[in-house]
Structure 1
Amino acid sequence: LSLSKGKTPRRPGPKKANIEKDPVGVYCRIRPLGGEDEECCVEMISSSTIQLHAPNGLKANRNGEYKETQYTFKKVFGINTTQLELFEDIAKPLVEDLIRCKNGLLFTYGVTGSGKTFTMTGSPGEGGLLPRSLDMLFNSIGPFQAKRFVFKPDDKNGMEIQSQVDALLERQKRDSQQSVPKTPSSRQKADPEFADMINLDDACKFENVDEDCCYSVFVSYIEIYNNYIYDLLEDVPFDPIRPKWLSGGTPVQNNEFIPPQSKILREDQNHNMYVAGCTEVEVKSTEEAFEVFWKGQKKRRIANTQLNRESSRSHSVFTVKLVQAPLDADGDHILQDKNQVNVSQLCLVDLAGSERTSRTKAEGSRLREAGNINQSLMTLRTCMEVLRENQMCGTNKMVPYRDSKVTHLFKNYFDGEGKVRMIVCVNPKADDYEETMLVMRFAEMTQEVEVARPVDRPICGLAAGRRHRNQRGGPINENLPVLPPCDVVDPADDQTLPRLIEVLERRHQIRQMMMGQIDKTANTLKSMVQQFDSQLNSKETFLHDQRSRLNEKDKVIINQKTEIERLEKKSKTLEYKIDILQKTTEMYEQDKRSLQQELESREQRLHRELSERRRAEQRMQGIVTDTKLKWEKECVSGIIDSNLIYLRSHSAGGEKWVDHKPSSNLDLETVMQPIIPNAITVSTPNEKALSKCHKYVLRHQELASDGEIETKLIKGNVFKTRGGGQAVQFTDIETLKQECPTASRYSICANSSELKNVVFLHVCTERSGSEEGPSQMVDIENRVGF
């Protein structure tokens, strides 16, 4: 086992010097086997040692064999141990410490069916530790018990002292209700159902009881089921008007049991844990105390499992509180001082047995119960291991008491608030061998945990013997002479009667003197009473004045309270208005933030559009500039011949065209295409075609900046040159471009009027050697640069 993760270690506190510690007392009790044919795996070696044997048919360990393991305890009780022997060795010292104002914790631990409940409660004819502890307690303090309701729980794990009048009123109220049996003068008759458990012939008694104290016993009984605390003594009244409902959907009748509400743990002013709202019943005899226990025992959750016919499904805690307070100086009444009240308690815990679901075949709620039982027992083991590690290794780890209600409730005992005793119950049958091994390891580890020894808390009272001093039967006055023997046997006896007369006369004189003293004392007392009456009258007058002033102060206080209430209402109204204003402000701020975000998003979108427009303008300007430069270069380079040309007149409507379509051009297959009538279409210009026509057009295609194909129609006039060739003068350029209807349009137009430079295309006939040589045609497209 190891400390669970997520625990913050506690800071080391100041070390306490000279603290005596005692180890946890761990005892072992072996129950008899159920049948003679069952295999036994536990053997008692000595009064303090047992030995475990592996049963036949069990798988071997890694070494191929099982080792016989021995475990040592403070004392081992065999199968022949009686309940009385167990009580005298374990529980009797705890009861004696309880009377000495010391706390104690005794709990049974073991596998299901190992005899824990039998050890704690017993059976008819064999009372367990609980009834024997109650019997010893009442045998010891019986004559010195206070009347009922003199002590009263304060619901904060403490006790209060009531006056005789208040206690009498409580008793009369109880007697009128007849809900609690009256305090018997002797032992009341026990219920036959459990009479055999408490009618003990071997009753024990503690002799060193302080007779100058009064005692009262309070008992409580709780169970911890599924890590929830329930009060087994709580009476749930039936309400006929608003009946409660069970989980099945049926109303609860008068004779049906309503499960009590779960309780919570709290810490009192002394940092001790207690169950808040737990019922504490004052009992005056063993029979009455065990009857209260039996009433809660019937409500405890038990179930029939495959391992035990009546298996406890919860941890039960029966707490016995002993309240004692000293008598006053006269020994008649209890000292009315709450600081003089001492409360000690003995907790008798019957833990539910650990079990493996693979053996019990538990399902549903039984499976959940078993899981919670095993989880709480695992937390108990973890706490013991952390305590041992802190003590042996000097560490200061946080002990996880709060992980389980069982450990959280008893954390004070392990911190030094009382003795801790544990009885490990063992079933020696072979089927429980593996579970018994785990129990033995836990018991062996628990014995190494040391608990601080509780400090003695003596009763702070007056001198001893106050109760005996007030008892009847003693002499009236020690100053009076003792009467001599007055029997006259001899008639001649003349000494007895004179001696008796003399003694009587002296006694008479003493009585007279005492009567005079009594009269003087009475007169003095009367004067004192009169003086006291006068003082009382003056005090009453003073009290009357004080009451009148107090009434005036009360009126002032009432007025102030009224004013305070008015101001509180006004303050609440203002707070309400402030809340409304704050909410309105938050709404406005939220709207402001949303509008600011929308404004920012629109500004960003606007900036983005402006930047895109600037980039487009810059791109278009670049395209225009590039195009202008390009055409300037083309026009300059397109001058083929600088010779003087002459203009030829054109006949109206009779021009013939040379349509120059390079073979590299693509057919765009668009709807609108340029149509030139009376045209001679050529892929390469030649002199023959130019001599027959007056106009020339060149179709040039190139890729535009937007990715579309742009077609340019370069037009010109054809003239004859002096050398016998043909020349072309370019006069106009038309641009044909495809555009998408949805795209932004940035059109660049080139008009013939903008063509500042006249470009001439000169087609020369070059002859080599003579005029009859072959003529060489010039590639106009390459010469112009398209």
Structure 2
Amino acid sequence: MIRQAKGKTPRRPPKKPSSNEKDPVGVYCRVRPLGVENGECCIEVISSTTIQLHAPEGFKTNRNGEYKETQYSFKKVFGVSVSQIELFEHVAKPLVDDVIHGKNGLLFTYGVTGSGKTFTMTGSPGQGGLLPRALDMLFNSVGPYQAKRYVFKTDDKNGMDVQSEVDALLERQRRENNLPVSKVTSSRQKLDPEIADMITPEEAYKADGVDEDSCYSVFVSYIEIYNNYIYDLLEEIQEDAIKPKPPQSKNLREDQSHNMYVAGCMEVEVKSAEEAFQVFWRGQKKRKVANTRLNRESSRSHSVFIIKLAQAPLDADGDNILQDKNQVTVSQLCLVDLAGSERTGRTGAEGTRIREAGNINQSLLNLRTCIEILRENQMCGTNKMVPYRDSKITHLFKNYFDGEGKVRMIVCVNPKADDYEETLLVMRFAEMTQEVEVARPVDRPIYGFTPGRRHRNQAFKEELSCKLEERGGPVDRDMSSVINQLAHSLPPLPSAEVMDPHDDLTLPRLIEALQNRHRIRQMMIEEYNKSANNLKSALQELDNNLISKDNYIHEQNAKLVEKDKIIQTNRADIERLEKKTKMQEHKIDILQKTTKIYEDDKRSMQQELETRDQRLQRELSEKRRMEQRMHGVVSDTQLKWEKECERRVNAMQLEMQNKLWVKDEKLKQLKAIVTESKTPGRPDPTPRQTQPKRPSKEERLAAKRSASPPPPTTTPVRPLHRRSRSAGGEKWVDHKPPSSLDLGTVLQPVIPNAIQVSAPNEKALSKCDRYVLTHQEVASDGEIQTKLIKGEVMKTRGGGQAVQFTDIETLKQELTTIPSRKRRSSEGAPANGDQSDGAWTDVETRCSVAVGMRAGSNMGPGLEHHGITKRRKP
């Protein structure tokens, strides 16, 4: 039966500590040995608390170009010769003591990549780090007082429940039955003692002042924060080779005491340091690592290993655990291995590595921002909000900076000169972190029972065993059952109460009963003696038989001694081979990780190569399309310019032919006038000096548009009959507005094979090659003139038609008058010898007078003019 004391106080501490005392964040510095021999070193250890940074050669830090040397102070500086055990004794041992006494603790390593953070936290065979030493010290202290498995049970809300030993036994049996046979047999085997290779028995520590009237249970969990997502490294995922499933990220939650925890994180109950370290190593194999230029196994995520200790007091008798949830105290120690800050230019990161490095640097930058704001609030009295929620690493541990436990930081630095700039930033951050103060946690006393209950119960059992041994009773664990059996075999005693002094029956009855019990006792002694004699005789016979076998036994013993020697030799070989096997397994794990990293890099590079190939194919196809498009544009432009050149050449030829024809006409008329003037009986005509008519504006515009480089010097030949190109199969769109008037001029345009429209439309343009627009307007002299605006129909890329105007032809009716020829007076007549020569010197002037017609405008191809110019007399 479990008893609970009345009036006991809850063991859960209040949220806000009543003490106003604060302690600064403990910052330690550890210097890694210089890896390269004869390399330049930029860090010098001045004392046990101070280091000095020397700027490397070629790095100027002030305006004068001089080297600057800076000193930084820490709580303690550990040089290259400091061992792992000394580091644990100064930094982690006080935190383990606090966890055993119900206080929380946070320890994290900080530094650039390749500075030795993982080695400080985990260590290597023969040089165990902080984590395995903390586990060893914890189990050395509370190991004898651990509760049975499954007595403490997590409630998935960052709390602990206590169940009875019967329920715990049933749960153990149920879980063992649910496990496969292979796992049950492997779990019952002895665990692989990897931690024994890291910690020697001489280096073991044990905490003082452990409460022996409480029962303890240890739970561990292991998570990583990768790309600002939380993943459980201990979660068992069924691997599917065909379609593997990625791990699911976890979320942060807040419990009833406003403490942050990872919801759904797997917490494993462990009963020894070896088992705990084996669980840690199982999760360590799943952690994200990568190979960079600065580190072969660079951590790509922040890892958090949480050691949770649950303790509950025993009842008043010191036998059972109190099943009261309010009496359970839960304390935890968080060991954080932060990923190193890095520059992608130095690490040569590409693709996924760049994204990982950016997330790592962003989370570390947010940690620095939180520390800066905390320092400013404490030193300047401000009340700025600390951005804990900007990253998961700060949001998870915000309770520690608010006073839920001690905070310790180990700054790991690499003394090589290449890391000087990054180391300088790390030192500045460490110097600022030391100025942040965290509230000191309050002690958690235990009330309600007198201490030493377990010792008193143990002492009572030992005293009872000694008394039974002195009396010759059984000393084994079934002592009570044997005593009860002997007591029930004797006859019961009658009632020995004497109520009357004259009672003569009670005493004789009691005497008789005692005599019977004495007689039975004598009989039992006789039977015991007989059995003892029989046993002695049997033993004597056995001794006699054994004496004859002594010689044989001695011979066998000699052989066994020889076998023992062989066995000892084999054991030594087995131990040596086991150590060698462990080393090989460790190397195999490293090679497997490296192979996985190379495979991931190969896969990413293949994906990148495929992406680039696709991009190249797209660029090539785009280039081909552009080439085809440009070829099309070039061919269209070439065809257009060929047509334009042909049009200009034809226009120039026509213009030259017209000019030649005009000159021929002028010469013919001149010849006719000369011939007529020399006819006898007729007087010589008096030439009329007139100026040639100036071309109109439309004629000048048409001449400018048809201007082109001078044609080759060939003698134009006036054709007897000019045939238009429309006869060759070209179709025209004759656009005549309904308002045009018929002037009745002699030169009339005739357009064969034309479609006459009053308004242009797409259907008519699609069937024709040329276009002419008839336009009428009043000229400056009051006459109506007709303009024929001509163009070419071209197909557009969109499937439509467009008209490009190329020529304008102007038709105008004019009346020309020829002056009457009179004889010259004899006063102004020259001499007979010079009369004909002097009268016909100005041929052009006389041609302009003689020719009373307009030669006409430039008529483009496709139009024919039938008729002649009439000469009218007044």
Q: Do residues 301 (structure 1) and 308 (structure 2) align? A: no
Q: Does 1:412 align with 2:419?
A: no
Q: Which residue of 2 aligns with 1:371?
A: 358
State the identity as a percent. Answer: 74
Q: Relative to structure 1, is the Cα distance of residues 516 and 29 closer, same or farther in structure 2, using a 3 angstrom cutoff?
A: farther
Q: Does the 8 Å CA contact 1:124/1:196 hold for their aligned counterparts?
A: yes
Q: Tell whether the 8 Å contact from 1:98 to 1:322 is kept in structure 2 after alignment.
A: yes
Say whether residues 1:387 and 2:374 are aligned partners.
yes
Length, aligned pairs only: 463
Provide the rounded CA distance (Å) in 2 between the counterparts of 1:72 and 1:19. Answer: 26
1:720-762 Cα offsets, whole Å, 9 max, x none, are xxxxxxxxxxxxxxxxxxxxxxxxxxxxxxxxxxxxxxxxxxx
User: Is 1:139–1:204's contact at 8 Å kept on the other side of the alignment?
Assistant: yes
> Which sits farther off after the overlay, 205-214 or 383-392?
205-214
Superposed CA deviations along residues 580-629 of structure 1, whole A, max 9, x for unmatched, are xxxxxxxxxxxxxxxxxxxxxxxxxxxxxxxxxxxxxxxxxxxxxxxxxx
Aligned to 2:322: 335
Cα-to-partner distance string for 1:127-180 (whole Å, 9 max, x where unaligned):
000000000000001110000000000000000011222111111123324466
- Per the alignment, residue 133 of structure 1 pairs with 134
Q: State the Cα distance separating 1:477 from its structure 2 match.
A: 12
Match for residue 120 of structure 1? 121
Matches within 5 A, 1:668-747: none
For the residues of structure 1 that align with 2:270 and 2:17, how far apart are their CA atoms?
A: 39
* One-letter amino acid matched to 1:345: Q
Match of 2:253 in 1: 266
Where in structure 2 are there 5+ consecutive unaligned residues?
A: 1-14, 472-492, 497-738, 741-874
Q: Distance in 1 between matches of 2:46 and 2:77?
A: 9
Q: How much has 1:18 moved relative to structure 2?
A: 5.0
Aligned to 1:23: 24
1:183-222 mapped onto 2 (5 Å cutoff): 188-191=190-193, 195-198=196-199, 200-222=201-223
Q: Distance in 1 between matches of 2:16 and 2:454?
A: 44
Instruction: Give the distance between the partners of 2:348 and 2:156, measured in 1 at CA.
Output: 43
Kept in 2: contact 1:327–1:461 (CA 8 A): no
Distance in structure 1 (CA, Å) of the matches to 2:172 and 2:158: 23
Corresponding residue for residue 224 of structure 1: 225
> How far has the Cα of 1:460 moved from its partner?
3.4
Does structure 2 conserve the Cα–Cα contact (< 8 Å) formed by 1:323 and 1:343?
Answer: yes
Identify which of 329, 332, 337 aligns with 1:345. 332
Aligned CA distance change for structure 1 residues 159 and 182 (closer, same or farther; 3 Å): farther
Separation in structure 2 between the aligned mates of residue 183 and residue 208 of structure 1, nearest angstrom: 36
Q: Summarize the alignment of residues 349-748 of structure 1 with structure 2, pairs less than 5 Å apart.
A: 349-471=336-458, 472-476=460-464
CA deviations on 1:92-126 (whole Å, 9 max, x unpaired) are 00000000000000000000000000000001110
The residue number in structure 1 matching 2:762 is none
CA distance in 2, matches of 1:16, 1:236: 41
1:191: how far off?
A: 4.8
- Structure 1 residues 357, 145: closer, same or farther in 2, change over 3 A? same
Equivalent residue, structure 1, for 2:297: 310
C-alpha contact 1:220 1:279 (8 A) present in aligned 2? yes
Q: 1:701-720 CA deviation, whole Å, 9 max, x = no partner?
A: xxxxxxxxxxxxxxxxxxxx
Q: 2:243 aligns with which of 245, 251, 254?
A: 251
> 2: distance between equivalents of 1:94 and 1:184?
31
**Partner deviation per Cα, 1:327-367 (whole Å, 9 max, x = no partner):** 01111110111100000000000000000111112111000
TM-score by length of 2: 0.50
What CA distance in whole angstroms lies between the structure 1 residues aligned with 2:20 and 2:346? 46
Which residue does the alignment assign to 2:236? 235
- 1:80 alignment partner, SS class: coil
* TM-score normalized with structure 1 length: 0.56
Counterparts of 2:349 and 2:49, CA distance in 1: 36
CA distance in 2, matches of 1:160, 1:189: 28
1:331, 1:470 within 8 Å by CA — same for their partners in 2? Answer: yes
> SS of the counterpart of 2:407?
strand
1:285 matched to 2:277? The reply is: no
Give 1:251 shift: 2.2
Partner residue of 2:65? 64
Structure 1: which amino acid aligns with 2:328?
V
Contact conserved, 1:110 with 1:425, CA < 8 A, in 2? yes
State whether residues 379 and 403 of structure 1, in contact with CA within 8 Å, keep that contact through their aligned partners in structure 2. yes
Shift of the alpha carbon at 1:457? 1.3
Q: 2: CA distance between counterparts of 1:319 and 1:68?
A: 39
Question: Is 1:320–1:346's contact at 8 Å kept on the other side of the alignment?
Answer: yes
**Aligned-pair CA distance for 1:259:** 3.7
Aligned to 1:169: 170
Q: Counterpart amino acid of 2:136?
A: D
Moved over 3 A (4+): 14-18, 177-185, 198-201, 472-478, 480-484, 514-517
**Matched residue type, 2:29:** C
Equivalent position amino acid for 2:415 in 1: P
Report what 1:97 is aligned to.
98
- Structure 1 contact 27–423 (Cα < 8 Å) conserved: yes
- 1:515 Cα deviation after fit: 12
Q: Deviations over 1:687-706 (max 9, x none)?
A: xxxxxxxxxxxxxxxxxxxx
SS at match of 1:46: coil
Tell me the amino acid that sits aligned with residue 455 of structure 1. V
Q: 1:345 to 1:482 in 2, by over 3 A?
A: closer
Q: Distance in 1 between matches of 2:62 and 2:367?
A: 28
Provide closer, same or farther for how the CA distance between residues 204 and 483 of structure 1 changes in structure 2, counting only shifts above 3 A.
Answer: closer
Q: State the one-letter code of the partner of 1:115.
A: G
Within 2, Cα distance between the matches of 1:120 and 1:109?
Answer: 11
2: CA distance between counterparts of 1:466 and 1:516?
Answer: 39
Quick one: structure 1 residues 259 and 295, their matched pair in 2 at CA, closer, same or farther if it must change by over 3 Å?
farther
Determine the C-alpha separation between the residues in 1 that align with 2:372 and 2:285: 35
Alpha-carbon distance, 1:201 to partner: 3.6
Kindly indicate whether the alpha-carbon contact (under 8 Å) linking 2:19 and 2:442 is maintained by their aligned counterparts in 1: no
User: The residue matched to 2:217 in structure 1 has which SS?
Assistant: strand
For structure 1, list consecutive stretches of 5 or more residues without a partner in the other structure: 1-13, 253-257, 485-513, 518-669, 672-786
Letter in 2 for 1:80: S
Q: Retained in 1: the 8 A contact 2:78–2:87?
A: yes
CA distance in 2, matches of 1:20, 1:184: 47
The amino acid of 2:131's aligned partner reads L
For 1:280 and 1:314, the matched residues in 2 are separated by 20
| 2:58 counterpart letter in structure 1 | G
Sort the Cα spacing of 1:483 and 1:346 in 2 relative to 1 into closer, same or farther, 3 A.
Answer: closer
Contact kept in structure 2, 1:198 and 1:287, CA below 8 Å: no
Q: Is the 8 A contact 2:25 2:436 kept in 1?
A: yes
CA offsets 1:264-301 (integer angstroms, 9 cap, x no match): 00100000000000000000000100000000000000
1:301/1:314 contact within 8 Å kept = yes
- Give how far 1:65 is off: 1.5
2:223, 2:233 within 8 Å by CA — same for their partners in 1? yes
- Counterpart-to-counterpart distance in 2, 1:87 and 1:482: 48
Distance 1:228 1:127 in 2: 29
Work out whether residues 110 and 426 of structure 1, in 8 Å CA contact, stay in contact via their aligned partners in 2: yes
Aligned partner of 1:24: which letter? V
**Cα distance in 2, alignment partners of residues 434 and 275 from structure 1:** 36
Alpha carbons of structure 1 residues 481 and 101: separation in structure 2 relative to 1, 3 Å = closer
Is contact 1:232-1:260 (8 Å) kept?
no
In 1, the alpha carbon distance for the partners of 2:213 and 2:39 equals 57
Determine helix, strand or coil for the equivalent of 2:305: strand
Contact 2:19 2:440 in 1 (8 A): no
Q: Report the alpha carbon displacement of residue 470 of structure 1 after superposing the two structures with TM.
A: 1.6
Q: 1 CA distance for matches of 2:68 and 2:284? A: 42
Pairwise CA distance, 1:371: 0.3
Residue 82 of structure 1 is matched in structure 2 by: 83
Shift of residue 59, structure 1, vs aligned partner: 3.7
